[in-house]
Amino acid sequence: MLLGWPELILILAIVLLIFGGSRLKDLAKGVGESVREFKKASSEPTTDEKDKEAVFEAARKMGIKTEGKDLKQVLSEISQMSGTKN
């Protein structure tokens, strides 16, 4: 069931009567900040992605070719070059 314009205007009028103009402004500001923070958090790379990119960067600095390889393969090559067992 979709709401039309008349229903939305009625809901907005009721909310305005309940909260008042100043509280409604603060409420809208809080909702806007929450949405902005959510968008920012969802667009940032996760810690795992940052860690993976750091491993690939370290491997490239060591002269390991990383194109077409997954993280497990790169870590294996790094451990072989450093002489440690992974």
d(C-alpha 29, C-alpha 32), whole Å? 5
The span from the first CA to the last CA of the chain, in angstroms, equals: 57
The neighbour count for residue 41, using CB atoms within 10 Å, is 9
Q: How many helices (H) and strands (E) does the chain have?
A: 3, 0
Instruction: State mean pLDDT over 30-53.
Output: 84
What is the b/e burial string over 30-39, where b = at least 16 CB atoms within 10 angstroms of the residue's CB? eeeeeeeeee
Q: Is the pLDDT of residue 85 over 80?
A: no
The predicted-structure confidence for 53-67, as pLDDT tens digits, reads as follows 899 999 999 999 999
